[in-house]
Amino acid sequence: MVNLAYRIQGLMFASGNSRHIQGLADLRRPDIVFVKPLFRERYDLVMPRNDYESQRLSPMLKIIASHEFRKIVDHVGGYDTSQTSMTTFLNSQS
């Protein structure tokens, strides 16, 4: 499992934003119910270990580990790349 990035999820509205919420201050209005607190969402690339170790995915993994990739993702904004390319191997159950 290769970490791509984390993203802090902000305000999410029902389709069409019928209550016309523009920012955090609107959450204090009596007609607004705050359902879920903000959370950190993790984006990972998951693959079998033999694929991770294959030459087939090596170019992509090098790109993910590059400074240039982090720079591009950071430029998009809203993403945390502090753990980008960190790899975790999970034990498979037989």
Residue 85 forms part of a structural domain: no
53 belongs to a structural domain: yes
pLDDT 10s digits, 28-77: 899 988 776 877 899 999 999 999 999 999 999 999 999 999 999 999 98
**Average pLDDT value for residue range 9-14:** 74
**pLDDT in the model for residue 75:** 96
10 Å CB burial of residue 65 (0-12, 13-18, 19+) is middle
Per-residue pLDDT, 32: 87
- Residue 71 structural domain: 2-80
Give how many domains the chain has, as a whole number: 1
Residue 93 domain flag: no
The larger pLDDT score, comparing residue 15 to residue 10, is at 15
| pLDDT top residue among 55 and 78 | 55
